[in-house]
Amino acid sequence: MSTPLLIVITIIIVIFLVGLVLTLSIMRTYVKTPPNRAFVRTGGLFRKPNEPPKVVMNGGAWVFRTIHELTWVDLNTMAIEIERTGETALLTIDPQYADIKVIFYIKVSPTVEGIVDAARTIGGKQVDGSTVKDLVDAKLDGALRDVAATFTLMSLHQEREKFIEEVQSRLKTDLEENGLVLESVSILTLRAARQGSFGTDDVFGAQVARANAQVIQQAQRERNDIERRTEIEIKQRDTDTARMRLDLDRDLALAAASQERE
């Protein structure tokens, strides 16, 4: 084989290898999104100062790590559990403490604006259940406490739907600022906090303890009254029964005496 031919073959092989490397490199820089995720791409050499970031859903885009920043956004519904019991129980208007466990079903709004807001306000490399919970935990807690403070403990049990509606209404605008949508709220547990599970060395704890003591005392008085009334009613019935028996015996004796005279 002649030298010129070898040179040509070598050049062709080199060009092929370079092309293959470039193709693989370009393929690796093209990032595609699965159906349940989106990403926000920021940065770039020719990006204008006021140009919004690029949002990719159900597609893909070129991402060059040296000039772009990428934030993945989970579009699945996230179940965020909030449990407040004992020292962290909710305070009602009675006042009473209520132990509660709630699940908030939240998702990122599947719109360009919602995804951008979520990526911007939550930050980091990823927006998912963990990072969303870290951001909204205080908001969810505040909404539960604010609304519970307008209910009595009994009305919380009797009007759960109303309680949930008011919590959702209070959270709607706050969550929208983070690109989030509250789908629903489920109450898993709702009961009066046990006496002794909360402190009494503060004003609220002392008021709750006093209210509980008053309720217990009133219940005991009512129970004693019922027991006394029941005892009196039983004795009255026994007395009436004995009187009726005496009257019946007397009538029978009179009837027998009358028959003997006849």
pLDDT in tens, the chain (262 residues): 567 777 767 777 777 777 666 666 666 678 899 999 999 998 877 777 777 889 999 988 888 888 888 999 999 999 999 999 988 999 999 888 899 999 999 999 999 999 999 999 998 889 999 999 999 999 999 999 999 999 999 999 999 999 999 999 999 999 999 999 999 999 999 998 876 555 555 555 566 566 666 666 777 777 888 888 888 888 888 888 888 888 787 767 776 667 766 6
Residue 2 identity: S
Q: Are 41 and 69 in contact (CB under 8 A)?
A: yes
pLDDT at residue 21, rounded to an integer:
65
